[in-house]
Structure 1
Amino acid sequence: MTFFSAGIFRRRNVVAIAVAALSFTAAPAMAAEQNPGSTSFIPSPPALAASAWVLMDAASGQVLVEHNANERLPPASLTKMMTAYIAEDEIENGDISLDDQVRISEEAWSTGGSRMFVREGTSVPLIDLMRGIVVQSGNDATVAVAEYIAGSQSAFADLMNEYVRRMGLQNTHFVNPTGWPAPDHYSSAMDLATIARHIIRDFPDHYDLYSEKYFTWNDIRQPNRNRLLWRDPSVDGLKTGHTEAAGYCLVASAKQQDTRLIAVVMGTSSDEARAQETQKLLSYGFRYYETRHLFDAGQPLTEARVWGGTQDQVGLGLADDLYITVPTQGDTETETRTSLDGDLQAPIQAGQQLGTLEVLRDGEVVRSEPLVALSGVEQGGFVKRLWDGLLRFVQGLF
């Protein structure tokens, strides 16, 4: 399974400093921002007619705009993003296949709400059920997939909550795979943006599914309920939701040049309103921000002394590509700084965390990522370890 995170670690023993002149923002743009000596000016983001919203950069994970982002709200069919993600993960792991024939149970067939209109007792290819989930928001297709993976809806809900834990979602708990209203079934705009980011980044080969505008099954042609797929050519996903308690909700993603944004809007008053409010967020984000790539995964950023090893130096870098989000206007100087977690003793494993890379703006840390060993270092022989120990002792005296 693929899960990613940005770690923040205690900084000790600074070993290198690199300076890059980049425009950069590190905090949600909740008010007009203007830096002394900079030409950049970012106006306040639009106020939306919604209960909660988030605008996130898909590459960097930075939140550009938020309102009630962590409030626990009914997610309606936005729940199906997690159901689809789990199916995509199972496919990626080779446990199931898009060609699998899924038997439709009576429980799946009789599920109320929006439907794909599968028939009880028939077998449906998994790829078509995935379209039924994503394009048609079919509760029947969703239940069928949940039963196929976990045996029952309740067992699948347990699996969903395990993924919630692994993704680090703080304000989400699922009771069913569809989003059917239930007392303890909730999520937040921030958590839903995070799920969408996982879908986009973890399984890019499956993402085209979220941009499909129509799907026909049982001679019934249904449109994707995401109106922005027709209005904005940069929008290519993800999912709509609606119940009386949740209102009209939308998680949308759009890409312009090298910048991909995720917008989550919850609790609007109509289908049209959720499209309009989401468009406001996306337009604001693309107007005032862009994504910058700082470092590649595995790129050597610094070297560190290793004691008692078969070699004296080890290269350090990042396990994942590092992106930041910057204003589209003006320049602000940004620093990157590497630090070690104390003296390094062999043996060292490739990929082992040995320090931290910090991104600073105006001297303040705004982003931290773990520095890892780019290669392994085996423990040296007795003489090498004895010699290195003597060197450390002598250096400690001066």
Structure 2
Amino acid sequence: MSVSRFFLALTAALATTVALAQTPTPQPKPAPAPAAAPAQAAPTPAAPVPQGKAWILMDHASGQVLAGENIDQPLEPASITKVMTSYVVAAEMASGKIKASDMVRISENAWRSGGAGTDGSYSALAINSEVKLDDVLHGLVIQSGNDAAIALAEHVAGSESAFVDLMNAYAQRIGMKNSHFENAHGLSAEGHVMTARDIALLSRALINQFPDHYALYKIKEFTYGGIQQWNRNGLLWKDASVDGLKTGHTSAAGYCLAASAKRGDQRLISVVLGIDTTSRSEGFKAREQGNLALLNWGFRFFETHAVYTAGQKVADQRLWRGDVENVALGVTDPLLVTLPRGRYADLKPTMNVPRQLVAPIKKGQQIGTVSFTLDGKVVAERPLVALADVAEGGFFSRMSDDFWLWWESE
């Protein structure tokens, strides 16, 4: 190639590069709404405020907090602790370390510390007997047996204290930042606390990761040793959409309830903690009414949309020094948003990526973020990753790009 022809080719390449360099960053577009939104959505009324020291309503699919008060305040959770206990048991079963058919020995410690001689709920497990793990687990979840909690802890980890270490380790993995466990049953102990947000996160993890295990929570009664034991979650009888989770009460914790319900394709999780009353019937009534009011409000006024599916391309981004001119960016996990009904069309997408993106790029490498706002408030934000590997380009391609990278840096 003559020198003149080389420079003509280089000039054309540079001109193309200039045009590409001046192309604005593409903006992501959310998936279309499944149905046309109304011309003007009605305002969403304020959430009902239940009795209690703290409460929360969370959308299960997106994990968004729809309403709440004191959601990160550490409080005594009473027997809601047993949701963490059952989560650990489910996780250890899933890993193959224990089986539903295992025979669990009911130690004197489990019988004395959590049996009939104590002030809490129990599963009537006989001292020094051996009971199938599946039966003990039913007693834990349905009857809320303290003896069942201790017996399972000892079977899984050798001692309750070692099991508590597992509880705290699993809690960290789930993202429960303000909770700490001192026992497997939930009776008052210094430093034994959970928050409303953490309980909702735990409930969401249990439902997502161990759906077969979660199915135990909707069973209304269980008979063992000739004794019929009833589920303490009264909402199971009051609303057919409710299928869990757990009640709790001690004099220090007050009356507590974590609940979950599914209507159609939507599931919500509610938690009410610390209802202070000396009346047992009033405590039961207040925690059930408070949770049910939150659930009804959430189902009535909110909806969840899948904006992007896992691996879906969000945008093509200009790439320098690569063997291709653009790299496809997307999200690794489904991006879901929960919004007031009829407001999906009002979502505002924004993509934040580096101004100059240089090859090589590895598939899965985080490039930037995509976020969505509603009325100026961020409602969802996720990492943007490269959907494919991009190798370096040839010598002349890199030389051309290097020139314009230098030019833009001046």
Same fold (TM over 0.5): yes
With structure 1 as the length reference, what TM-score do the two structures score?
Answer: 0.85
User: Which residue, 55, 58, 61 being the options, matches 1:56?
Assistant: 58
Preserved contact between residue 20 and residue 335 of structure 1 (Cα < 8 Å): no
Are positions 1:184 and 2:177 aligned together? no
In structure 1, list runs of 5 or more residues that go unmatched: 1-12, 24-36
Match of 1:319 among 313, 327, 332: 332
Mapping for residues 1-398 of structure 1, pairs under 5 Å: 14-18=25-29, 38-112=40-114, 113-268=120-275, 269=277, 270-305=283-318, 313-329=326-342, 332-341=345-354, 343-346=356-359, 348-362=361-375, 364-377=377-390, 379-380=391-392, 384=393, 386-396=395-405, 397=407
Deviations 1:252-301 (A, max 9, x none): 00011121110101122311221111111111111111222222112222
Q: Is the 8 A contact 1:15 1:339 kept in 2?
A: no
After superposition, the Cα gap between the structure-2 partners of 1:319 and 1:97, relative to the gap in structure 1 and judged at 3 Å, is: farther
Q: Which has the higher helix share?
A: 2
**Which is strand-richer, 1 or 2?**
1
Q: Which amino acid aligns with 1:282?
A: L
Deviations along 1:297-325, one digit per CA (max 9) or x if unpaired, are 12222233555666665432222212111
The answer (yes or no) to whether the contact 1:210–1:237 under 8 Å persists in 2 is: yes
Segments of structure 2 that go 5 or more residues without pairing to the other structure are 1-23, 115-119, 278-282
1:196-236 deviation digits (Å, cap 9, x = unpaired): 11111222232211111111112111111000111100100
Q: Which residue of 2 aligns with 1:34?
A: none
- Rounded to whole Å, the distance in 2 between the matches of 1:131 and 1:342 is 57
Aligned residues: 369
Separation in structure 2 between the aligned mates of residue 69 and residue 173 of structure 1, nearest angstrom: 15
Q: Aligned partners of 2:327 and 2:155: how far apart in 1?
A: 47
Q: Which residue pairs with 2:17 in the alignment?
A: none
Q: Is the 8 A contact 1:134 1:210 kept in 2?
A: yes
Q: Which has the higher contact order (CA 8 A, sep 6+)?
A: 1
**Aligned-residue CA RMSD (Å):** 2.4
Describe the shift of the 1:20–1:350 C-alpha distance in structure 2 as closer, same or farther (beyond 3 A). Answer: closer
Which position in structure 2 is the counterpart of 1:28? none
Query: Which structure would you say has the larger Rg?
Result: 2
What TM-score, normalized by structure 2, do the two folds share?
0.83
Quick one: which amino acid aligns to residue 349 of structure 2?
T
Name the aligned partner's letter for residue 328 of structure 2.
Answer: G
| CA distances 1:328-370 after superposition (whole Å, capped 9, x unpaired) | 2566511223332465455544433222121122455332111
Conserved 8 A contact 1:20-1:336: no
